[in-house]
Structure 1
């Protein structure tokens, strides 16, 4: 379902969105609230930062395509924070010990766990906003060490992802040296699809058949189950490293490549790993073991992580009753909600990465995630009037949508306290007159901006209409 003028978010979900904006806005040297464990495996900071972008981009594309300001700043900050030595320094050691190489460029060769993830983040941000800053040459300086800096942009990253797929005998290419991971490659495929949409190309489409062939032949077992990992040298996998929970995460992005392969994963999980308990009315997990009960973003024991991961895939396939029940159990039993001093919400004990799966589960309905990547926001919302300046902790945006490229529809909630708040609108017609549903009126300045004041006490609709053509 594409963004429409009747889509808006409930207040509870908005407070989870607020938390991810807060995470995205933390300073480059501030890692409080993040999971700082290691920088080599799934608890790495890079995955947490990329997930902030994916989650906020989903919120923006589906519910608030006419919103800029702090949500965009949080995405940019997360992208640029992921370039810093604390995040990227691991690649020096991966290169030295895994490849015996002094070329530490993290994009050029066999590092899809950066290039693919980053490509998806960049494609979502650029496609949602029309902001072309990351198309500029050398706009993304990857700092592996203080002095080893490798400069790229969205085009060069896409080029190397495509080149690595073309050069690999498996098409699927490695993350860690000599190890192919399914999840990283399907995430990169989503990034490639998003890139092609933004720049009107067909690079991935020309590779889809070969990619899918190797995904099925090399990265699935005889039953068709997606394998998480295979050695490029031996073809061996590592048993037990991931189960249905990990496969569900891969399946969400596999839909961009082949819907039947993705839908099969959900069908199997739905019938073999989830069961309705008629006494409690809740869905119970079954057939899980080992890694399925570990939060892969922190390595800590967690059943809530499985509930949220399954809920994400369930909502993408329209099984709302299952998803809502799984989220409710995560919120109330497995990983209870905690409120921060700012009023934002998070699930206690859930990592930033898996919490992002949970946030996207709360945000999406049938095929919303697919449409976020494949179609993106309506063009009139990218180019038309936007809410650009607002106090994001006191003004919670449930909807920001331009129906025609001239007017702006907002649905707002106050944060912890009711009150009057200023909003800065941008991308208006310079020097044009506008009227607001609360009775106010104003004339946009020569830069196409205008300031309005709104009173918020619960759900509040604000409609700004252009009344004078220039």
Structure 2
């Protein structure tokens, strides 16, 4: 199912700097600062003690108390000036800590600590001229900010009109841009190279549950966290299963189950105890209990894709996803409880989008959570998302679309402040993949606007548009940026961008084959997972899997030894099965889903199903080997 080629949704008119919820949060923040400014001013002009007056100056400006004795003429004055600069830098670092770990206490405590530290220094009376300079500086900064925001608003309104004119002009080019064909009805097959890349994920998934060999252990608060590595490796395996091996159980099912069960290991979710404590001032370590879409939404989609690609409902069993705390407390969850939590948090949020780290709201994460609910609906014949879709879309457009038509990476739920669109094209490209399931017209619009940055005037691919930092391990590599953009291109059907990204990825991060597994030395585990998703992608493949997962019926391969036998393709063929296997020597092949006691031919080998519809037989394999299982006497 594809959108009509003429369906290009324009950007909404740009009539105000901020959406209503964001504006209310920013006004509240400004009012809070005015209270702080008033208190600091009161100390400055009413208090008799110099230490209290300096403390007041520290309330007016982070590190401002050190300016009380600052000058550029004396050694003491220069020291105080440097102390003020160091204090402002420390406050800036506390903002980064707040963003990186959700620690909302860091900025106010740093600000207060700097004020107290400056007040504790005794260097004589505070100079009146210094007070005047601080207030004059604040006034100049406020005027400059107002001018900058007015100029940005005017420029953005002009750019919005230009962008909409551009979008209207793309109507005739849509068929040329989104030119990839559909995979529907085609028995897709992985190449040996593709199978060797899949093994990167399978090797990590199929190790003992409490082992994480081959995973990167850098931090558990940001994008290098193990939970994200598990998520995206699992998404890659699920998409691979759905496209190439829907009629194969065996190690593909086992890998997806293992990657979900690894999410229950305490080391994966222990981060939340700290984040919840210093971000929400709550001591509950359960990562599902409160707005935490980076765990709840991501795992819910993991479960949804497992069910959609296998037809199984293991994690719909009550309490199947249980988190055991070292204290002995157990938090029992399952697919339904995660979906219900997502629904509650969507409706409870003023933004109608859920925070990740306490306070920080990411549109990308929320499209992942929305996809999970949509998939749950399709699998259980429910209409949960229908009650949220309109509000979600409205708030996404009203609160998270900046003046230049880009979805902002993230926004503070408490202050309304947003991070600038840094990170190159990847944070603009990757949301298009998940958005294609939630709001396909918006995904197409955003992709068309982004695509202009990917090629220069003569059609050359702009590699410099991709951030040289790998999101998954913070190393110097464009692997994650190329993989994520290729993923969105595959889903939307833009074959030119997909090819350009994969070629650039291979050039800058060459594939290395070791012991039958292909990896890229500089690429993070996260980037490998995203690349696996991209290679399993097809036009609207993710959307179709979310909206209408295909039924899993008929004969299925099962019980093959990994990695002795690699399954490149396995598709139901009426009452039979067609598969492609890679191995050498004679191997035992297992089948399930056969008709009880019915005779079959596996290539030229006669087999009979047992009472449970299962059978086993030995098959000689030599490299790439085709297998056709059919009822005896059938075609």
Unmatched tracts of structure 1, length 5 or more: none
Match for residue 595 of structure 2? 429
Unmatched tracts of structure 2, length 5 or more: 1-181
Whether contact under 8 Å (1:431, 1:444) holds in the other structure is yes
More helix, by proportion:
2
Match for residue 442 of structure 2? 261
Q: Choose from 329, 332, 340 the match for 2:504.
A: 329
Displacement of 1:231 in angstroms is 0.7
Within-5 A mapping of 1:53-72: 53-72=234-253
- Greater relative CO, 1 or 2 (CA 8 Å, sep 6+): 1
Whether contact under 8 Å (2:484, 2:531) holds in the other structure is yes
The count of aligned residue pairs is 453
Match for residue 339 of structure 1? 513
Q: Choose from 394, 399, 402 the match for 2:564.
A: 394
Match for residue 415 of structure 2? 234
Q: Choose from 342, 345, 349 the match for 1:164.
A: 345
Displacement of 1:275 in angstroms is 4.1
Q: Choose from 82, 94, 107 the match for 2:275.
A: 94
Match for residue 358 of structure 1? 531
Whether contact under 8 Å (1:274, 1:286) holds in the other structure is no
CA distance in 2, matches of 1:235, 1:145: 37
Displacement of 1:241 in angstroms is 4.7
The reply on whether 1:18 has 2:199 as its aligned counterpart is yes
Displacement of 1:432 in angstroms is 1.2
Deviates more, 1:123-132 or 1:74-83: 123-132
Q: Choose from 364, 385, 388 the match for 1:207.
A: 388
Within-5 A mapping of 1:88-237: 88-237=269-418
Would the alpha carbon gap of residues 359 and 119 (structure 1) be closer, same or farther in structure 2, given more than 3 Å must change?
A: same
CA distance in 2, matches of 1:40, 1:144: 19
The reply on whether 1:408 has 2:570 as its aligned counterpart is no
CA distance in 2, matches of 1:276, 1:325: 16
Whether contact under 8 Å (1:89, 1:145) holds in the other structure is no
Whether contact under 8 Å (1:276, 1:283) holds in the other structure is no
Would the alpha carbon gap of residues 284 and 454 (structure 1) be closer, same or farther in structure 2, given more than 3 Å must change?
A: farther
Match for residue 284 of structure 1? 462
Whether contact under 8 Å (2:248, 2:557) holds in the other structure is yes
Whether contact under 8 Å (2:241, 2:310) holds in the other structure is no
Q: Deviations over 1:184-226 (max 9, x none)?
A: 1011111111111110111112211110011111111012201
CA distance in 1, matches of 2:541, 2:519: 22
Displacement of 1:164 in angstroms is 0.7
Would the alpha carbon gap of residues 95 and 59 (structure 1) be closer, same or farther in structure 2, given more than 3 Å must change?
A: same
Whether contact under 8 Å (1:315, 1:366) holds in the other structure is yes
More strand, by proportion:
1
Deviates more, 1:395-404 or 1:454-463: 454-463
Displacement of 1:30 in angstroms is 2.2
Match for residue 622 of structure 2? 457
Deviates more, 1:16-25 or 1:109-118: 16-25
SS of the residue corresponding to residue 489 of structure 2 reads helix
Larger Rg over CA atoms: 2
Whether contact under 8 Å (2:428, 2:450) holds in the other structure is no
CA distance in 2, matches of 1:218, 1:356: 30
Whether contact under 8 Å (1:63, 1:399) holds in the other structure is yes
Match for residue 299 of structure 1? 474
CA distance in 1, matches of 2:330, 2:454: 46
Within-5 A mapping of 1:243-262: 243-262=424-443
SS of the residue corresponding to residue 452 of structure 2 reads helix
Would the alpha carbon gap of residues 276 and 419 (structure 1) be closer, same or farther in structure 2, given more than 3 Å must change?
A: farther
Displacement of 1:161 in angstroms is 0.4
Q: Deviations over 1:215-274 (max 9, x none)?
A: 111111012201111111111112255442122111110111211221123222322133
- TM-score, normalised with respect to structure 2: 0.69
Would the alpha carbon gap of residues 277 and 462 (structure 1) be closer, same or farther in structure 2, given more than 3 Å must change?
A: farther
Displacement of 1:128 in angstroms is 2.2
What's the C-alpha RMSD, in Å, of the aligned pairs? 1.9
Q: Choose from 547, 550, 564 the match for 1:374.
A: 547
Displacement of 1:307 in angstroms is 1.8
Match for residue 606 of structure 2? 441
